[in-house]
Structure 1
Amino acid sequence: MMLIFGLMLLLLQTAACLEFNCRFNQKDPCYAALGHKLNLTMVDASIYHLKIYKRINNIHDDQACRVKNDKIRECDLFNNRAEVTFINGILIINRVIRADSGNYTLILVNSDGSFTYTDLQVNVEAPVGSVNVSISCSSNGMKSVSCSSDRDQLIYSWTLNGESLMDGNPTIELNEETDGNIICSVKNHVSHGQKNIRVTQCPESVVFVLVWSFQLMVLFGLLGGFHIYMRHTSGKKQEDQKVRMRRFREGHEHTAEDS
């Protein structure tokens, strides 16, 4: 049972592994995925002795990787890491780390002592992680849609209902009435990811809420004023009634005295 589980785990790890291939004589930079595999093709190491240096501020570092007779003899450039091997003229890094980024020089030494060299720039980037999209309604009648991911060197692109929108920005502005399916695509030089969500009209815009709140305030103000007016009017009527009753009683008492 444990053996079957181990084999399944190995298959999953293998399927998830990204592999990149570069050559030391290529003109463009070499890109590798952090934590994944990089193959650096050089030359026939049975003919040449190879030395690989890393340049810092255009100066060769003392550390190097030396290959002779198609085998690594010394490789303190990669701190003798077990995941760095050399097979058939290919330097293989099975698990790339950030420190592997940099400018490298490959020196080919002939049997007569003459040599040639070539350079290669290696850039390590983290694969794109999970992509998140959020939508917010603003007071100016627009909808703001934002896209984000937790990796570096990201390039953004958008599509709405299958039509391309503005590229390059992690945030776009849409009309408040816009609805449909929107896709945010995120990529860098080593991987890509995307998120598809449904965009609907804002249920209540901020402007509507503000206007509605103002109308309620005016309505409550009018009701309060009417209530105060009615209380004042009712009190005045009661006071007038009391005055009339008092006058009536006084007039009745005077009539009784006269008789």
Structure 2
Amino acid sequence: MDFREFILIFGLMLLKIGACLEQICWDFEKGPCYAALGYPLYLQINDLFGSNWTFSKIDNTQNEPVCRTNSGMTGNECDHVLNRVEYYSRNFLLINRVIRADSGNYNLSLSYRAPDVVRGRGLTIGLQINVEAPIGSVEVSISCSSSGEMRASCSSDGDPLLYSWTLNGDSLMDAISSIVLDEGTDGNITCSVKNHVSQGQKTISVKHCPVSSVSVVFVLIWCFQLMVLLGLLGGFHIYMRHVR
């Protein structure tokens, strides 16, 4: 590995650790590569330098040529990733501006030029790419029912979405977009949303739900009706005593 490649890998790792949506994949046996919709995807492939390679998307049982290069120079056999698959540094392929159609299974076939044939005729690497939309701004809202029940709802752009909640720093069990809070809940509630390519969160303050004015009016009307009923019963009782 030369100094330029070392600096490249170090820079990509910093991007991976930070909030940048550029993704880098290198261990294809552990699972799929996740790419952020609209952002670059870097594929680190050993022995890419000094070989002829063919990058093909697998459609059912047929291989559809996507892009081919000879000695590191991109050829003309490209399809939907035309002008987006690039030979990048010694051991990197770069897919620019990932789109939905890039999701799928791929084969990368390497064939070595003489005198490297002693290393074998070639190598085929299978990899899966899953494209996900990045998380957008996270929004949290609180709604109150007439009974005083509180419901917290969380929404965000992106897919797929995995939710988690905390109340005053304590984790809540519900991993869904909408949860019911106990009566009297107050403090700071946080909704965190993530997928394989990005994450986001939003914190708001929660206070007791106000008593509904409708409920107060209902109670007053009920009390008035009860007083009228008791008055009628009392009057009827007095009337019956006078009749006797």
Q: TM-score range by the shorter chain?
A: 0.7 to 0.9
- Alignment partner for residue 144 of structure 1, among 124, 141, 151? 151
Q: Which residue of 1 aligns with 2:24?
A: 21
Shift of 1:66: 1.1
Q: Which residue of 1 aligns with 2:185?
A: 178
Q: Which residue of 2 aligns with 1:85?
A: 86
Task: Go from structure 1 to structure 2 and tell me whether the alpha carbon gap of 1:123 and 1:79 turns closer, same or farther (over 3 Å shift).
Answer: closer
| C-alpha contact (below 8 Å) 1:48/1:68 kept by paired residues | yes
Cα-Cα RMSD:
3.0
Shift of 1:33: 0.6
Larger Rg computed on CA atoms: 1
Find the aligned partners of 1:59 and 1:84 in 2 and give their Cα distance. Answer: 20
Find the aligned partners of 1:145 and 1:121 in 2 and give their Cα distance. Answer: 37
Task: Go from structure 1 to structure 2 and tell me whether the alpha carbon gap of 1:35 and 1:29 turns closer, same or farther (over 3 Å shift).
Answer: same
The 5-angstrom pairing of residues 180-195 of structure 1 reads: 180-195=187-202
| C-alpha contact (below 8 Å) 2:37/2:100 kept by paired residues | yes
SS at match of 1:77: coil
SS at match of 2:215: helix
The 5-angstrom pairing of residues 82-231 of structure 1 reads: 83-87=84-88, 88-111=90-113, 114-139=121-146, 141-205=148-212, 209-210=214-215, 212-216=217-221, 219=224
Task: Go from structure 1 to structure 2 and tell me whether the alpha carbon gap of 1:67 and 1:125 turns closer, same or farther (over 3 Å shift).
Answer: same
Find the aligned partners of 2:177 and 2:216 in 1 and give their Cα distance. Answer: 32
Question: May I ask how many residue pairs the two structures share in their alignment?
Answer: 209
Find the aligned partners of 2:209 and 2:28 in 1 and give their Cα distance. Answer: 55
Shift of 1:125: 0.7
Find the aligned partners of 1:50 and 1:43 in 2 and give their Cα distance. Answer: 12
| C-alpha contact (below 8 Å) 1:32/1:122 kept by paired residues | yes
Task: Go from structure 1 to structure 2 and tell me whether the alpha carbon gap of 1:173 and 1:116 turns closer, same or farther (over 3 Å shift).
Answer: same
The answer as to 2:62 corresponding to 1:59 is: yes
What is the TM-score when the length of structure 1 is the normalising length? Answer: 0.71
Deviations along 1:99-155, one digit per CA (max 9) or x if unpaired, are 111111111123459332111110111110111111122355531111111221100
| C-alpha contact (below 8 Å) 1:105/1:120 kept by paired residues | yes
SS at match of 2:79: helix
| C-alpha contact (below 8 Å) 1:177/1:201 kept by paired residues | yes
Find the aligned partners of 1:46 and 1:213 in 2 and give their Cα distance. Answer: 79
Task: Go from structure 1 to structure 2 and tell me whether the alpha carbon gap of 1:16 and 1:155 turns closer, same or farther (over 3 Å shift).
Answer: closer
Find the aligned partners of 1:77 and 1:17 in 2 and give their Cα distance. Answer: 28
Q: Which residue of 2 aligns with 1:10?
A: none
What is the TM-score when the length of structure 2 is the normalising length? Answer: 0.75
The answer as to 2:51 corresponding to 1:48 is: yes
Find the aligned partners of 1:197 and 1:180 in 2 and give their Cα distance. Answer: 8
Shift of 1:171: 1.2
Give unpaired runs (5+ residues) of structure 1. Answer: 1-13, 227-259
Shift of 1:217: 5.6
Greater helix percent: which structure?
1
Give unpaired runs (5+ residues) of structure 2. Answer: 1-14, 232-244
Q: Which residue of 2 aligns with 1:242?
A: none
Q: Which residue of 2 aligns with 1:34?
A: 37
| C-alpha contact (below 8 Å) 1:45/1:67 kept by paired residues | no
SS at match of 1:134: strand
Find the aligned partners of 2:40 and 2:177 in 1 and give their Cα distance. Answer: 29
Task: Go from structure 1 to structure 2 and tell me whether the alpha carbon gap of 1:193 and 1:75 turns closer, same or farther (over 3 Å shift).
Answer: farther
